Amino acid sequence: MDLNWLRDFICLGRTLSFTRAAAERNITQSAFSRRIKSLESWTGVALIDRASFPVTLTPEGEQFLPVAKEAVAQLLGARQAIRDQDLGDNPFLRFAVLHTISVNFLAAKIEELEHSIANLRTKVISDSLSTCCQLLSDGACDFLLCYRHPGSALVLDESQFSRKDIAVDKLLPVAQTKKAKSEKWTLPGSEQSHMPYLAYDRASFLGNVVEHITSNRSTHFDIRYVDSLVEAIKRRTLSGGGIAWLPYSSVKSELGRGELINIGDDSWETTMDLSLFCSPERLDSIGLQLWESFD
């Protein structure tokens, strides 16, 4: 038995698509199919009805899916408990979070909560949104803190978790002020002078959100740099490397000091909900205090 077989099956049970599930699991479809076949060989029954479109779970697959979810959650929970044994009586509450949210929101929030929740101990895991969603689904973290936007669906079965929308952030197009004024950078750009563009990887959450903003509009960009990290793109923007869409929370200070300038009107911006997910029934008393503190 390979733990990844269970994770693959859980993903397939949610998406009912070999293509999408393989993409979410970041493996080729052929490799993904082989792993599902290996799991079926291990169980001794067919778990997937491949004759239907989209594929469906067989009755045996329906019966096995909650078992697989619980097995993954218990294994990862036991692993974390063992790792935490030498760190004191109070276990760590684990947050899976995008790096930019960790830097610009969560660190300060945790510092605030430490004054009101006794014995609070936290561990922050910063990663891509798909990985953070997988960690919550697998029970490898207690909380998922992420952005939500209509232009980029979460890789998560939201019906399985409780959610609180705790804040709103804005994604807006900015550039270094001096450079933008001297080069006359303003959206949508012109055919005569394409603006250097610092882009997110298209597979990333923010890459999808920017695509949602720009897909039906005429733009004149020259992509110079691609990254998935907000802080890396922000650094290039501050050095005058080009224009970029950045969360307001990450550039509030720079906009206030005049180091960055908004290069578009409101139609080039969008809002994103900052949402917290968890399974309250799995939290201890300190975890429940933390959950309630986000009201």
> What's the pLDDT band for 152 if we cut at 50, 70, 90?
confident
Q: pTM above the 0.85 mark?
A: no
pLDDT at 256: 97
The distance from CA 132 to its chain's CA centroid, rounded to whole angstroms, is: 6
User: What average pLDDT does range 185-198 have in this prediction?
Assistant: 92
Calculate the average pLDDT of the chain: 91
Q: Looking at the structure, tell me whether residues 112 and 148 fall in a common domain.
A: yes
**3: pLDDT strictly greater than 90:** no
pLDDT at 83: 62
In the block, which residue shows the tokens 């979460």? Answer: 154
Q: What is residue 56's DSSP assignment?
A: E
Q: Looking at the structure, tell me whether residues 279 and 267 fall in a common domain.
A: no
Q: Looking at the structure, tell me whether residues 173 and 225 fall in a common domain.
A: yes
Q: What is residue 54's DSSP assignment?
A: S
Expressed as residue numbers, the domain containing 258 is 169-272
Residues ≥6 apart with Cβ < 8 Å to 53: none
User: What average pLDDT does range 2-26 have in this prediction?
Assistant: 88
End-to-end CA distance of the chain: 42
**153: pLDDT strictly greater than 90:** no
Structural domains in the chain (count): 3
pLDDT at 264: 95
> Is 213 a member of any domain?
yes
| Per-residue pLDDT tens digits for 255-271 | 999 999 999 999 999 99
| Per-residue pLDDT tens digits for 220-259 | 999 999 998 999 999 999 999 999 999 999 999 999 999 9
- Where does the chain show beta strands of DSSP type E? 48-49, 56-57, 93-97, 122-126, 143-148, 162-176, 195-200, 221-227, 244-247, 260-262, 270-278
The distance from CA 153 to its chain's CA centroid, rounded to whole angstroms, is: 10
| Per-residue pLDDT tens digits for 86-104 | 555 567 899 999 999 999 9
Q: How long a stretch of residues is the chain?
A: 295
Q: DSSP string spanning 128-176?
A: -HHHHHHHHHHTS-SEEEEEEBTTB--SS-GGGSEEEEEEEEEEEEEEE
CA-only gyration radius of the chain, Å: 22
User: What average pLDDT does range 61-86 have in this prediction?
Assistant: 79
**162: pLDDT strictly greater than 70:** yes
Q: Looking at the structure, tell me whether residues 161 and 281 fall in a common domain.
A: yes
pLDDT at 115: 94
| Per-residue pLDDT tens digits for 49-64 | 998 888 999 999 999 9
pLDDT at 109: 95
Upper half-sphere CA count for residue 116 (Cβ side, 13 Å): 12
pLDDT at 144: 97
Q: Looking at the structure, tell me whether residues 125 and 35 fall in a common domain.
A: no
> Is 8 a member of any domain?
yes
**23: pLDDT strictly greater than 60:** yes
Residues ≥6 apart with Cβ < 8 Å to 126: 97, 98, 99, 102
Q: Looking at the structure, tell me whether residues 234 and 248 fall in a common domain.
A: yes
